Structure formats: C-alpha cells, structure tokens
A and B are shown apart, each in its own frame.
Chain A
Amino acid sequence: MRPEVRTGPPPPPSSPSQVFHRDLHRLHRRSGAMTGPPLVPQPVCRFQDPEPADLSMEEESDTRKINNSFLRDHNYATEADIISTVEFNSSGELLATGDKGGRVVVFQREQESKSQPQRRGEYNVYSTFQSHEPEFDYLKSLEIEEKINKIKWLPQQNAAYFLLSTNDKTVKLWKISERDKRPEGYNLKDEDGRIRNPSTITSLRVPVLQPMDLMVEATARRVFSNAHTYHINSISVNSDLQTFISTDDLRVNLWNLEITDRSFNIVDIKPANMEELTEVITSAEFHPQHCHTFAYSSSKGSIRLCDMRQAALCDKHCKYFEEPEDPSTRSFFSEIISSISDVKFSHNGRYLMTRDYLTVKVWDLQMENKPLETYQVHDYLRGKLCSLYENDCIFDKFECVWNGSDSVIMTGSYNNFFRMFDRNTKRDVTLEASRENSKPRAILKPRKVCVGGKRRKDEISVDSLDFSKKILHTTWHPHENIIAVAATNNLYIFQDKVN
C-alpha cells in the first residue's frame, strides 16, 4: 500500500543505488500531521557503480558503498538542521532522525518489487513532523530547546508505528499511521460542495469509503512531562512493552506507556549538598530481554547494573563495572576523557558496550573488573587533548552501535570519519562520510590518519582533521548490513553490496 513516490528516471539495471541531494528538512518545515507523498523530494542525480562490494570486513578495502544519502546544501544549513539522533526501528523498515529544530523525519525502506529488485534497500521519506517546539519555563527562567535528544521505536503492535521522542524535558509518544480511504458523499452538500436546499433532501445518504492516495499521519498520542529537573539524556523502552525509563543527569524515572500523570523515580544520585556532586548519569538502557535489568553509565567511567526485582528504588546497584585507572597515563584530562557518552546492551544481552572519548569498550556482564575488549577509536588525538579541551570538543558525546549479530561495532569520530571494529577478526576500518568522497553507488575507501613521520599518499595528517565535522550519531539495521550515519546536517545511508 505504499505510495509511489519516485518520479526520477528509472535506474540503469546495474546500478541499484542512488544518491539524493536535497534540502530535506527545509522542505518540510511544517508542524503537525504530515502526509507522505507530496512531501517526498525528488532525486536529482544518479551515479553508476561499476564495482559492487561486500560489507563484511574480510575484504581488505572497499567494504561499503553509499546507498543513498540525504544531503543538504551546506550553504543553507542552519543550526536547526543539525541531526541530533538517528534510529532504526525493530524491523529495520523504518529509520527515524531527529534534529535540533525539534523535527522528526521518518524514512521507509522501499519494498522489493519483481520488476526492479535493485530498488530494495532504498530509504525514502515516509513522514515528517514537528515533535517538539521551543518552550520557556517561566518558573525557572529557562529556555527549553526543541532539540530531539533521542528517538526510540516501540515494537510494532498493530498496523501503525509508534516512537518515543524526547527533548531536554518532555518525552512524547508519536503514532505514525497510514490512511488510504476517504469517506465520500454528504447529505447537505452536493458533489461540488454546494449547500443543498434542505427541501430537496428526500433521502438519506450514508457516506461511502473510497480509496484515495495514501496519506501518512503522525499524531502525538501521549506527552510525558514535568518529571525531570535536569536534562534528559536518554530514554529506553522495556522489553515488557509496558514501561520505559527516561534519564537525566541525576535521576532515572520509570513510566508506564499508558500513564502520563505520574512516573516513579528509581535512581536518584543527587547528593543532599550539590557541592558534593562528583558524577552525573550520562546514559541508561534496559536489557533487551530481561525486563528487570537496566544499566546506567556515569561521567566517572563506570557502569552500574540495577535489578528492579530487588527493590522499588534502585539506588543500590547489583553490578558495578569499572576499569582501574592506569596511573602511568594519568593526566589533567583523564577524568574528562573517561566519561562514558553512551552505553548499549548487545542484542543477545550478554555484553555491554560503552564509548568514552578515545575508546569503545565491550564488557561481559559476568566480569565487572575490566572490559572484555577495548578498541581505540582515535588514539592519535591523545596528544591533542589540550587543544580539544580549549575548543570544547573533548566534551563531545559520541554514540556507539552494534551490528545485528553483535560481531561488529561502529562509532563516530572527527573529520566525518567513522570507525568499525570486527570483534572476531579484530580488524578495524576508518570510513568517511562526505559528499566529495562518497559518490552514490561508490564503494567507500578506507581512510588512514597518519601519526607523525612521513605522510603517505591517501593518508591524512592529524593536524588537518576538521574537528567541526563530527559523527556523533549512527545506527545499524537490526538484521542487515545497512547503516545510517548522521554527519551534522547530512544523513548518509550505506549498505552492503547489492547484487
């Protein structure tokens, strides 16, 4: 029942992928319920890709190619267009992005069709809506930004899709649904909309539903507000499909998805005297299968695992993951760079992945004293911490993701680079998301950063990295090798070789 949205030239048989170049959010800067078809932008260019490649990391290079990317012209990019979160739903058919302007754009994967099997895998705009508006807290004289901090999809429960989106203070539950029928026939009006003379009404007409163009509507179903004093940094839906948690700097609150007028505080680390504050909560997530377990990370580099079965208040953790600090590398920046910016359970629920400033760590839930694996994301920055501190980059919050089988992890870096680590082969790769380098259908070339010494061809020196281009938000399709990478105001979708 999907709308036919494409009107561009048919792709050549051998080039299944394409690039879209558009000023996406600008096109859709409208609030409220939005419809799909009229808003879908058109592809403007297509490129042919001669060499399809494989995503698996066995191949030395050229592992990925661009599938489609939603790029906006830098000249027009404003602060509001910067993408602040990106998330696949549980089937991978939908992909949602949120931006600093409070908007949510949902992309839908093109259905496979017999005539054009190569189109499978392309994502097109499905729905766009304004999720949050800027607000002002008059009691505290605080502006509340509309920026979407996180989006989480709910498992699908009927034909409609549901997602939670949050800004600093308020979580909203959105329903995205399709409508393809429209009632027709009035009693008081004729077909042209003219009012009929009531004396001519001699029989009653019941409206009849007629098929119409598919319309996609987004409606706010619930608003969960007034529960957070500090800024919400993460939300997570429980596997019991009944509750979710929202987390701010000092507290974790538990909500029922159907009840908006109360929530339960389950973690509170606020000291009686705020001067004694030594750490803040940076992120929290529910275990994917065990409805009673959740983990939260702190700015001190530790992760606490809590069991909601033990007590109503989870101030006491049941597991505490922390790596003892190496005294030899201790510096002024140690504490800042050890702060965890993201924590994610693996899909199988056995591992936790955390991202701090320079590394990604994988922890086994059964081993609390040290991480199972540690991957260096951009160790070459260790010598530049001072300048990164001065330009505030050291406080950037990078996210990290697992692939569907938990064998590869991905996280972002600077200069529009993002990194992938294969946990089995211990291979790693640096890729770049940029319009110049990633022609549509082109295979991504691995990039290398050279550290001192002579710079080889193809390498880029640390000093020439652009720190304003950072990849903070990425997401991986739950079952397939498709990734979405948000680079400031551009969204890139890369996918495994398409045959």
Chain B
Amino acid sequence: MYCNFKSQGFKKRNCAKSVLEKRTIFLLVKPRSAAQQRHSVTATESKMAGADGDDSLYPIAVLIDELRNEDVQLRLNSIKKLSTIALALGVERTRTELLPFLTDTIYDEDEVLLALAEQLGNFTMLVGGPEYVHCLLPPLESLATVEETVVRDKAVESLRKISQEHSPVDLEVHFEPLVKRLASGDWFTSRTSACGLFSVCYPRVSSTVKAEIRQHFRTLCSDDTPMVRRAAASKLGEFAKVLELDYVKSDIISLFTALASDEQDSVRLLAVEACVSIATLLPQEDLETLVMPTLRQAAEDKSWRVRYMVADKFSELQKAVGPEITKNDLVPAFQNLLKDCEAEVRAAAANKVKEFCENLPEDSREQIIMTHILPCVKELVSDTNQHVKSALASVIMGLSTILGKDNTIEHLLPLFLAQLKDECPEVRLNIISNLDCVNEVIGIRQLSQSLLPAIVELAEDAKWRVRLAIIEYMPLLAGQLGVEFFDEKLNTLCMAWLIDHVYAIREAATCNLMKLVEKFGAEWAQNTIVPKVLGMANDPNYLHRMTTLFCLKLYWLLFFENTFALSEACGQDITTKQMLPVVLKMSNDQVANVRFNVAKSLQKIGPVLDSNALQAEVKPVLEKLATDTDMDVKYFAQEAINSVLALQRSD
C-alpha cells in the first residue's frame, strides 16, 4: 500500500516492424550473405569464429555493429547475444576490447543497460574463468552508478554473483577496492550501490579488511543524503547476518538505533525491517536491552508510516522476538496499532489479526485473545474507515478455528453478523468469501439467516462489479449451504442474473450456472435450470435469447467433456432431443447477432454431436445460414461448415 513504492519495469517497445524493415533492406543489399547468416547464427554459438573460415564471421560482425545501431531494439538484441559475440572474439579480445567498450556504454537507454548488467553476471567463463573474473568489475562498476534504480540493482546483483567466483586473494585485490571506491564515491548513486556489496565480501576477507568494511558501512549509515541512509538501512539486516556476534552487538546495534531515530521517516521505517533480522541473530537474553527499546519506540513513532511498517511486519517481529516478549510487549503494542489514529495503520494491523493470534504461545493464547485482542477487534467492526473494516473482514473468520466452537458462537458470531450488514459491499464480500473457515467450526446454518439478506442485497447492488464479485462466490456458497437451501433461496437470484443489463454479469451468470451444475449434478440441472433456460429462447429481448444460446453451448460442452454426465440418468439423447431443436430454431431469429451466434455455437458443439444429427439437422441449417443476407452470419456459418464438416470427413 502506501509505503510500498516499488520500482516498475520499463515500457515495452514494439519495434518488431522496424526491425523487420531494416532486415529487409539488408536482404536486398546482400542476399547471399544474409542467407548464410540465417544458418550460421546458431552455429557460432558453440564454436569460435575464424576457426571455421570467413562465413561464420558475418553474423557476428552484424551483431557487433548493431551494438551501436540507432534502433534501441536492435541494440538490445545485440546485447542479449553478448555471449555469442564474446565467444566469437575469444577470451583475450573480450577482455581487452569488448569489456573496455562496454564500460563506456553507460550513455545508453535503460533497457539496454539493464540487459547488459544482467549479461555481465554470467560472463565469467567468457573472460577466461575465475582467474580473470575481475575484468568484469569495471563495466559493472560504471553501471552501478547510473541513476536508474533498476539498472543499479541489477548491476549490484551481478556483482554479488561474480563476487562468489573471485578467489579470496582476488576478492581483496580487486573486489574489495571496488566496494570501497563505490562507498566513497562523489555521487550518492554509487554509495547506495556499495551498501549491497558489503555482505558478500565480508565473510571472505582478512580481519583487517573486515574492520575497514565495517568502518565503511558505519560511514554510509550516517551519510548526508537520505538515499544512502535508506540503502544502508535496508541492507543492515543482511549485513548483520554475516557479522560476528560480538560485532553485531557492538556495531550493528548502535547503527540500528541511530537509523531507527533518523530525522527522515523514510529511513526510520526501513529500520523496522532490519529489526526482524537483527532480533533473530541475537540471543534471547540480549533482546530486551538491545532491540526492544528501539522497537517500542518505532511502534509509537510520531510518523504513521513507521507505525504502518511495524504493523505490516508484525508477524515477522513476533516470530523474531519469541513468545515471552510477545506476551509482555507486543500484545499491548498490537492493541495500540489496532486503535491507531491513522486508518492506514489500523488497516495494516487488522490484516495481521489472524496471523498474530495464531502465533501466540499456545498456553495463554485464548486468554490473550479474549481479554486483549477481541475488544479491539469489536471496535474495528464499526470503524469509520471502510478499508479498515474490509481488511478485518478478510481475516476475522480465521479466528473461529483458533477460538473453537463455543467462543465463536458467543463472541465472533455477532461480529460476523454485524459485518454482513455493513454498508460497504467489500466488507460483506470479504466475510462471504471466507465462510469456509466458519463452516468447519460451527456450520453455516448459524449464519444463514443473516447471510441470505446480505447475499440478496449484494446480488442487487447498483454497482455491477459488486454483483460480479458475489456471483463468483456462488458456487462456494452453494457447496456450503446445500442444494435444498440453494433451490429455496438462491436459485431465483442466479436466474435473474442471466437477464442482467450488463453483459459481464450475464456472462458470469452463465459460467456460474455451469459450476453449479458440476456441483449439483445433471439431474438437478435437468429439473431446475434447463427448463428456465429453454424458456428464455422465446424472450422478446434478443440479448436474452443469446444468453440461452450461450448457456446451452456451455452446458453441452460440460456434458461431453465430463464423463460424469454420461453416467447420469440423462445422457446424450435427452440433451440432443431437448436442446438441439431449440438452437436450430433460433437460426430463424430475426436478429442477425442471434443467427451468427447459432453458427458459432454449432461450430463448438458440432464435434460432440453424433453424425446422424449432424448430417440430418445441423448441416442444412448451417448451409442455409451460409446464404444469409447478413455478412457476418454468412462468415460464421461458413467457418462452422468448414470446421464441423471437415471434422466429420476425417472420421
């Protein structure tokens, strides 16, 4: 939500056409060699050029030239085949010519740089193996300083990858100086990149270098720019994991405390995340003195974004600090978050209610929930903010399994019922969508009295998206409520949706019917659904007539795809006898849309009809439609004839 800004991907370019054009021009100029190129591009992947004569050089030459083509897409393609180029050049020339060139390509578009950063992570063998892996550092170093976060992150990722391929000596001679250079760079882009590299080289260097690395990390944690402090804060946990426990206690804790009280709330909120990993590293007895003061402070931070972060990470924090501290500290903190003055925080905390309760120590779980958590939850049910209520509604049902039957009936049921009557449709929907948890504990009957009005109201909501959402839960509800209840109360709703004025609803209703048929069986369908659907074939509204058509089509397919239908009392005969005439009759409909949908339906159901019916009944109808006055009808009829009758011929 609010805090989680994510960097996003790049726009996709559609340059296929221009690529094609360029290629065509190429072909006109050099027809012979282009043909060679086609077969040899793949060939060179596995062998060195030159060894095989001049022919194989050509495609590589093209790739190299296109590294600087004006078209981004071509450059991108070339960069993605960088391994082919490197293979052709051989390790020596890759190191001395290709890499220096790539080091200076940082002027390029982000997509190209991103692809380059990724490629270089897998380049070790192409520069001559681990012995020479340090040659990859300069281009990655320059990529680690560009302003685009995704590119920088990818460069760091590749650097981390190749750091593993450095020998301990190389790591100190080549890699570690690079980290230092980045860490003391003029621009904050390089310093942010450095933050992600400490943890990979720390475990493998000598103790003097280790001390230097710790010093550099300390410096970055108090950098002038919030960007760098944020990067350091987000890598604090990771760095702590590779540090010796003594240094965690002496160094990391003080950095953590400092970052957690940074003047910028964007830095403080990242310290919360670090808190989780630091807490897991420390022995239980140190947590109280080293971590808890900071955590308490974060939970009561002046900035709602920090408190939001605490709420969002609550389950992780809870696991990290263990049951004792949870009981004494986190329970009151969680209560406060549930009562927070900012709705975003309450919503985040409400989302965690179930997980928090599940993870409470078993011996005192029920008591804590009943005396501390439940009162807050009760208040949230009537919260002023609908996001909070709907967040709660999405997890509250889960509490019933934790609390057991009696408590659920006594304490939770009233809350469920209240939420089912909530003014906000999303809250009601969330309750309904989680009915299965309650069903296991107390059975759904307890709820059905309130459930029905809630469902009916959602089913008739003025917003079609709400109606759509409730339709999607119908099969689930039907399964839990049973066929009798369904027939009695909900069947009419399902049929009413078929004639909704929004197409999306009619379509969903059609699919819904089929799911119900799957649940309740063909006999049920034959008795309750089919007559009504067939009845709609004579509806004055052509849209409703089309709905009949769609239903029948799906129904048919369902029958013949699922073997279950065949074992039922009503088999192919009935469906053919009962429904085919209706469909065929609709081919005389006065509305062209209905007619061509008949053709489309026949195309779909044709394959499952027996050949007699096909020849005797379907074929004449399709042939008649093929001579229709309407262009579209003709077209679809012809399509149907082609596919259905062709199929028959092949039989």
- Given the complex of chains A and B, what is the CA–CA distance between A189 and B30 in angstroms? 13
Choose among B68, B100, B187 the residue that contacts A159 (Cβ–Cβ < 8 A).
Answer: B187
What per-residue 1/0 map shows which CB atoms of A262-291 lie under 8 Å from chain B?
001000000000000000000000000111
Other-chain contact of A242, B54, B226, B344 (Cβ < 8 Å)? B226
Residues of B within 8 A of A292 (CB): 265, 303
Question: For A206, what are the chain B residues with a Cβ–Cβ distance below 8 Å?
Answer: 64, 89, 93, 97-98, 101
Nearest Cβ on chain A to B345's Cβ, whole angstroms? 9
Q: Report the bound CA distance from A206 to B67 in whole Å.
A: 10
Contact of A310 among B5, B65, B304 (CB under 8 A): B304
* CB of B58 closer than 8 Å to a CB of A: yes
* One of B54, B67, B189 near A207 (C-beta < 8 A): B67
**CA separation between A269 and B503, bound complex, in Å?**
38
Q: Are B225 and A202 in contact (CB under 8 A)?
A: no
Per-residue CB contact flags for chain A residues 184-198 toward chain B (1 = under 8 Å, else 0) read: 001111000001001
Give chain A interface residues in 313-348, CB to chain B under 8 Å: none
Check A157–B188 contact: CB distance below 8 A: yes
Closest chain A residue to B102, Cβ basis: A206
In the complex the two chains form, what is the Cα distance from A291 to B266 in whole Å? 9
Query: Is B172 an interface residue when CB atoms closer than 8 A count as contact?
Result: no
Known interface pairs A209-B104, A291-B266, A309-B304; A204-B57 also in contact (CB < 8 Å): yes
A466: CB under 8 A from chain B?
no
Taking the closest CB of chain A, its distance from the CB of B151, in whole angstroms, is: 12
Inter-chain contacts of A195 with B (CB < 8 A): 29-30
Contact A240 B57 (CB under 8 A): no
Q: Which residues of A contact B147 (CB under 8 A)?
A: 157-158, 160, 162, 175
Task: Provide the bound-state CA to CA distance between A291 and B227, in Å.
Answer: 12
Q: Which of B133-149 contact A (CB under 8 A)?
A: 145-149
Q: Which of A224-232, A253-261, A478-486 contacts B (4 or more CB under 8 A)?
A: A253-261
The docked-state distance in angstroms from the alpha carbon of A310 to that of B6 is: 23
Knowing A158-B145, A258-B5 are in contact, say whether A242-B62 is a contact too (CB < 8 A): no
A198, A203, A260 pick with most chain B CB within 10 angstroms:
A198
B238 close to chain A: CB less than 8 A: no
* Given A162-B147, A206-B93, A239-B226, A258-B65 contact (CB < 8 Å): no
Residues of A within 8 A of B567 (CB): none
Q: Which A residues, 293 to 313, have Cβ-Cβ distances below 8 Å to chain B?
A: 308-312
A residues in contact with B50, CB < 8 Å: 203
Q: B367 in the interface, Cβ–Cβ < 8 Å?
A: no
Q: In the complex, which residues of chain B have a beta carbon less than 8 angstroms from the beta carbon of A242?
A: 5, 226-227, 230, 266
User: Are B189 and A198 in contact (CB-based, < 8 A)?
Assistant: no
Which of A158, A198, A309 is the one whose CB lies under 8 Å from B305?
A309
Judging by beta carbons under 8 Å apart, are B61 and A188 in contact? yes
Q: Is A156 an interface residue (CB 8 A)?
A: yes
Give the residues in chain A near B104, CB-CB below 8 Å: 181, 209
Q: Which residue of B lies closest to A187 (CB)?
A: B61
A312 engages B65 (CB within 8 Å): no
A461 to chain B, nearest CB (A): 53
Q: How large is the interface on A (under 10, 10 to 19, 20 to 34, 35 or more residues)?
A: 35 or more
Beta-carbon contacts under 8 Å, A137-181 to B: 155-160, 162, 175, 177, 179, 181
How far is it, in angstroms, between the C-alpha of A195 and the C-alpha of B28 when the chains are bound?
A: 13
How many angstroms between the C-alpha atoms of A312 and B32 in the bound complex?
66
| Residues of chain A contacted by B488 (CB below 8 angstroms) | none
Closest to A312 in B: B344
The reply to whether B54 and A202 contact each other, CB–CB distance below 8 Å, is yes
Shortest CB–CB separation between residue A180 and chain B, in angstroms? Answer: 10
**How would you classify the secondary structure of chain B's contact residues: helix, strand, loop or mixed?**
helix
Contact B57 A291 (CB under 8 A): no
Q: Which of A159, A188, A201, A264 has the largest count of B CB atoms less than 10 A from its CB?
A: A188
B226 in contact with A240 (CB, 8 Å): yes
Within 8 Å of chain B (Cβ to Cβ): is A117? no
| Distance between Cα atoms of A158 and B30 in the complex (Å) | 44
C-alpha gap A179/B107 in the complex (Å): 7
Contact residues of A between 236 and 257, Cβ < 8 Å to B: 239-242, 256
A472 CB, nearest partner CB in chain B, Å: 32
Q: Does B598 make an interface contact (CB < 8 A)?
A: no
| Total B residues in contact with A, Cβ cutoff 8 Å | 55
Complex partner residue of B8 from A159, A221, A239, A259, CB under 8 angstroms = A259
In the assembled complex, A32 has its CB within 8 A of some CB on chain B: no
Q: Would A186 and B65 be within 8 Å (CB), given that A158-B147, A177-B107, A309-B303 are in contact?
A: yes
Cα distance, A183 to B5, chains bound together (Å): 37
Task: Give the residue of A159, A181, A204, A259 whose beta carbon is less than 8 angstroms from that of B88.
Answer: A204
Is A6's CB within 8 Å of the partner chain B? no
Q: Which residues of B contact A113 (CB under 8 A)?
A: none
Residue of A nearest to B1 (CB): A312
- With both beta carbons as reference points, the residue of chain A lying nearest to B62 in the complex is identified as A188
Could you tell me the distance between the alpha carbons of A207 and B78 in the complex, rounded to whole angstroms? 14
CB of B29 within 8 A of CB of A240, answer no
Chain A residue, CB-CB nearest to B110: A221
- Check: B49 CB closer than 8 A to any chain A CB: yes
Indicate if the CB atoms of B2 and A312 lie closer than 8 Å: yes
Cross-chain contact B65 with A187 (CB below 8 angstroms): yes
Q: Judge whether B457 is part of the interface by a CB distance below 8 angstroms.
A: no
Smallest CB separation, A158 vs chain B (Å): 4
Residue A455 at the chain B interface, CB threshold 8 Å: no
A201 engages B226 (CB within 8 Å): no
In the complex, which residue of chain A has the Cβ closest to the Cβ of B94?
A: A206
Task: Report B355 CB to chain A, min CB distance, Å.
Answer: 23
Assess whether B266 is in contact with A158, with CB atoms less than 8 Å apart. Answer: no
Set of chain B residues within 8 Å of A158, measured between Cβ atoms: 145-147, 187, 189-190
B60 within 8 A of A: yes
Q: Which residue of B is nearest A162, CB measured?
A: B147
Task: Specify which chain A residues have a CB less than 8 angstroms from the CB of B2 in the assembled complex.
Answer: 264, 312
0/1 interface trace, chain B 91-118, chain A, CB 8 Å (1 if under): 0010001101100100100000000000
Residue A199 is within 8 A (CB to CB) of chain B in the complex: yes
Closest chain B residue to A200 by CB distance? B54
C-beta contact mask, B25-46 vs A, less than 8 Å → 1, else 0? 0000110110000000000000
User: Is the CB–CB distance between B58 and A198 below 8 Å?
Assistant: yes
Chain B residues whose CB sits within 8 angstroms of the CB of A181 once the complex forms: 104
B5 proximity list for chain A (CB < 8 A): 242, 256, 258-259
Q: How far is the CA of A188 from the CA of B104 in the complex (A)?
A: 22
For B57, list chain A residues within 8 Å (CB): 201-204
**With A188-B62, A258-B5 given, is the CB distance from A290 to B190 under 8 Å?**
no
Closest B residue to A310 using CB positions: B304
Please, what's the 1-or-0 string for B66-79, where 1 marks a CB less than 8 Å from any CB in chain A? 01100000000000
CA distance A245 to B187 in the complex (A): 24
Cα(A179)–Cα(B104), bound, Å: 10
> B194 → chain A, closest Cβ, in Å?
14
Residues of B within 8 A of A386 (CB): none
Contact status of A241 and B227, CB under 8 A, knowing A195-B29, A258-B5 = yes
- Interface pair B54/A259, CB less than 8 Å apart: no
Instruction: Looking at the assembled complex, report how far the CB atom of B33 sits from the nearest CB atom of chain A, in whole angstroms.
Output: 4
Chain B 47-60 per-residue mask, 1 if CB under 8 angstroms from chain A, else 0? 00110001001101
Question: Across the interface, do A240 and B264 meet the contact criterion of CB distance under 8 Å?
Answer: yes
Q: A367 an interface residue at 8 Å Cβ cutoff?
A: no
Q: How many angstroms from the CA of A274 to the CA of B147 in the assembled complex?
A: 43
Against A, the Cβ 8 Å flags (1 = close, 0 = not) of B261-305 are: 001111000000000000000000000000000000000001111
Q: Are A207 and B226 in contact (CB under 8 A)?
A: no
B14 at the interface (CB under 8 A from A): no
User: A423 interface residue, CB < 8 Å from B?
Assistant: no
In whole angstroms, how far apart are the Cα atoms of A425 and B184 in the complex?
43
How many angstroms from the CA of A188 to the CA of B26 in the assembled complex? 11
Known: A201-B58, A311-B341. A240 touches B266 (CB 8 A): yes
Say yes or no: B64 contacts A204, CB within 8 Å: yes
Contacts of A240 in B (CB 8 A): 226, 264, 266
B188 partner residues in chain A, CB cutoff 8 A: 157
Whether B187 and A157, one on each chain, are in contact in the complex, defined by CB atoms closer than 8 angstroms, is yes
5 residue pairs of the A-B complex, CB under 8 angstroms, read A188-B65, A241-B225, A256-B5, A291-B264, A311-B342
Apart from the given pairs A175-B147, A203-B57, 7 other A-B contacts in the complex at a CB distance below 8 Å: A158-B147, A183-B67, A187-B65, A201-B57, A205-B64, A309-B305, A312-B342
